[in-house]
Amino acid sequence: MRSFVGRLDPTFDRYLKTSGFLLNWIAVIMFCVMLGANSYNIFLRTVLDLGTMWHQEVSIMAAFWIYFAAYGLLSKEDGFIRVEFLVERFRPPIQYWIFVMVRFAIIAFHVTLFIFCIKTFKLISIYETPILQWPEFLYYIPLAVGTFDIITTEIIHLLRTLAFPERPPVKAGPPPIAG
């Protein structure tokens, strides 16, 4: 297992860096789309005393992309909400198995979410959004992309944890202050 994961480690790093870069830019672009749509609506309302209805649908779709891109970025940094202060009270072998079981739980949750998302695509594909009349499954694309990326990232973290138990888990947060 150690040699297999060791050989794949550069590929894992490339995936984590590339997908992190893409998710970061997706979030930035969608934030700009959301900001632009709302700014346009505010401009129309204040200057011309007009308004738009479509800006809400565009904003909601962009917010979905931002949310799931941010969640994917958190998984790359291993930055989920933690209860490490409790786990650190156990001996190192028990800590190790708790981290492994938590990885399995996170993967199982996101696989379930991904499966339900794909099933929802089939059900929801016959409906359209009320204003723009876009297919409603567009709301679920960020969920599918985000959960797939989180599953892949968590599998990478799990393989690394299993292959190299002596490596401590990645601690998220700001880097320590040099001094």
Along the 179 residues of the chain, how does pLDDT read in single tens digits? 788 888 888 899 899 999 999 999 999 999 999 999 999 999 999 998 888 889 889 999 999 999 988 888 888 877 665 666 777 788 888 888 888 898 899 999 999 999 999 988 888 888 888 888 888 888 889 999 999 999 999 999 899 888 888 766 555 444 455 54
Q: What does 108-173 look like in DSSP terms, one character per residue?
A: HHHHHHHHHHHHHHHHHTT-B-TTT--BGGGGTHHHHHHHHHHHHHHHHHHHHHHH-TTSPPPPPS
- 78's torsion region: left (phi>0), alpha (psi -120 to 50) or beta? left
